[in-house]
């Protein structure tokens, strides 16, 4: 390893731009090992714990796939049922216990700040796999990597983040990272689901970036190099509020007529109804390729935090 990383990845700002560019290079190597069907050995004898207090398909499976592809093993849970959390065990005590059994932990939890708490009680590296409506830094890494692979740059790109920006944790960490790399940001969300003020404030005060803000994707779709859609975060809204927003924005082939011919359409997934299924056949629809990139990027991150990447 040529540059020093912090023990944990909790917040995207735990990584500098240099760290992220380094991870792009390692992910390229990991991608090649997957595509060449090479047997991974870097993490032989190492164990990853995936502690998922909230549902997940991509993040948990791609972390587990990544560790298996590195030659390591995985233990963990996909819900707290069947664990001592259901008997009232605290997060701190669970982490202090699990950290004795494994070499690295990936945790998803409904409470904002939970991954930071976990990192403070863990003697092994902790990776935030999503903490409530706060951040999802490994999603940000694979989002940045997906854009870099196609566009070969981040600086100067026009990136439109659309949908539930209030609770869409992927957009919080992504907007900070994109600002750091010099991208231009545009936010489109229904009234009530706007990007939190603290993010807008941080973008302005720390990165001198004033994002374009609209309630309708039409306002910026024609100038966007990347169109990043997100679903309404039902699990963080009351049912009445969810029903109010459900279906209130949908990306369709008709809307995409005004998009750039080389725009990238991304989505962290799962998709509900905010991207019409007809869009899947558009060559600009890259959200499944994006999800695939989660494996080499998480391989890169695990190997790097464990200090076994050469």
Q: How far is the CB of 52 from ligand CP (least distance, A)?
A: 8
Tokens linked to 165: 């920006």
Q: How far is the CB of 298 from ligand CP (least distance, A)?
A: 11
- Buried b / exposed e over 221-245, threshold 16 CB at 10 Å, is beebbbbbbbbbbbebbeeeeeeeb
Q: Which residue lies nearer to ligand CP by CB, 98 or 129? A: 129
Among 72, 125, 211, 268, binds ligand CP (CB under 6 A): 268
* CA–CA separation, 104 and 100 (whole Å): 10
Contact 156, 184 (CB under 8 A): yes
What end-to-end distance do the CA atoms of the chain give, in Å? 6
Among 50, 59, 290, 293, binds ligand CP (CB under 6 A): 59
**Order of all β-strands in the sheet with 104-109:** 73-77, 47-52, 104-109, 126-131
Tokens linked to 105: 């932990």
Q: How far is the CB of 48 from ligand CP (least distance, A)?
A: 15
Q: Is 132 among the residues that bind ligand CP (CB under 6 A)?
A: no
Only segment of 52-60, 194-202, 222-230, 272-280 that touches ligand CP (CB under 6 A): 52-60
Only segment of 21-29, 41-49, 264-272, 300-308 that touches ligand CP (CB under 6 A): 264-272
Q: Is 57 among the residues that bind ligand CP (CB under 6 A)?
A: yes
* CA–CA separation, 189 and 163 (whole Å): 5
Q: Which residue lies nearer to ligand CP by CB, 40 or 130? A: 130
Only segment of 90-98, 267-275, 280-288, 295-303 that touches ligand CP (CB under 6 A): 267-275
Total residues binding ligand CP (CB under 6 A): 10
Contact 62, 298 (CB under 8 A): yes
Q: Which residue lies nearer to ligand CP by CB, 40 or 268? A: 268
Q: CA nearest 140: which of 148, 111, 206?
A: 148
Q: How far is the CB of 231 from ligand CP (least distance, A)?
A: 10
Q: Which residue lies nearer to ligand CP by CB, 59 or 304? A: 59
Half-sphere exposure for 39 (CA within 13 Å, toward CB): 1
Q: How far is the CB of 208 from ligand CP (least distance, A)?
A: 30
Among 50, 78, 119, 139, binds ligand CP (CB under 6 A): 139
Residue length, the chain? 310
Residue 75 dihedral angles phi and psi, to the nearest 5°? -130, 165
* CA–CA separation, 97 and 91 (whole Å): 10
Residue 272 dihedral angles phi and psi, to the nearest 5°? -110, -80
Q: How far is the CB of 91 from ligand CP (least distance, A)?
A: 19
Q: Which of residues 161-190 bind ligand CP (CB under 6 A)?
A: none
Only segment of 51-59, 190-198, 236-244, 299-307 that touches ligand CP (CB under 6 A): 51-59
Contact 73, 67 (CB under 8 A): yes
Q: Is 270 among the residues that bind ligand CP (CB under 6 A)?
A: yes
Q: Which residues bind ligand CP (CB under 6 A)?
A: 56-59, 130, 136, 139, 268-270
């Amino acid at each position: 390893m040529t540059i020093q990383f912090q023990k944990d990845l909790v917040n995207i700002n735990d990584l500098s731009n240099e760290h992220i560019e380094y991870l792009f290079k390692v992910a390229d190597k990991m991608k090649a090992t997957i595509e060449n069907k090479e047997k991974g050995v870097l993490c032989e004898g190492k164990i990853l714990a995936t502690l998922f207090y909230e549902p997940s398909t991509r993040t948990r499976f791609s972390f587990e796939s990544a560790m298996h592809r590195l030659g390591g093993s995985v233990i963990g849970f996909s819900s707290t049922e069947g664990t001592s959390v259901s008997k009232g065990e605290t997060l701190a005590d669970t982490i202090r216990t699990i950290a004795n059994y494994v070499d690295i932990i990936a945790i998803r939890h409904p409470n904002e700040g939970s991954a930071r708490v976990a990192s403070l009680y863990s003697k092994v590296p902790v990776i935030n796999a999503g903490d409530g409506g706060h951040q999802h830094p490994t999603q940000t890494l694979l989002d940045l990597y997906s854009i870099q692979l196609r566009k070969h740059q981040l600086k100067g790109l026009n990136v439109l983040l659309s949908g539930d920006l209030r609770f869409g944790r992927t957009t919080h960490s992504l907007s900070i990272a994109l600002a750091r790399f010099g991208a231009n940001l545009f936010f489109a969300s229904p009234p009530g689901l706007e990007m939190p003020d603290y993010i807008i404030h941080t973008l302005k005060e720390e990165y001198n970036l004033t994002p374009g803000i609209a309630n309708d994707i039409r306002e910026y779709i024609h100038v966007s190099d990347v169109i990043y859609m997100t679903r309404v975060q039902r699990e963080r809204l009351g049912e009445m509020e969810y029903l109010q927003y459900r279906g209130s924005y949908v990306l369709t082939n008709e809307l995409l007529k005004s998009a750039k011919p080389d725009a990238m359409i991304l989505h962290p997934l799962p998709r509900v109804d905010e991207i019409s299924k007809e869009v899947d056949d558009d060559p600009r629809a890259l959200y499944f390729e994006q999800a695939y990139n989660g494996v080499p990027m998480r391989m890169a991150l695990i190997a790097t935090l464990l200090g076994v990447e050469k």
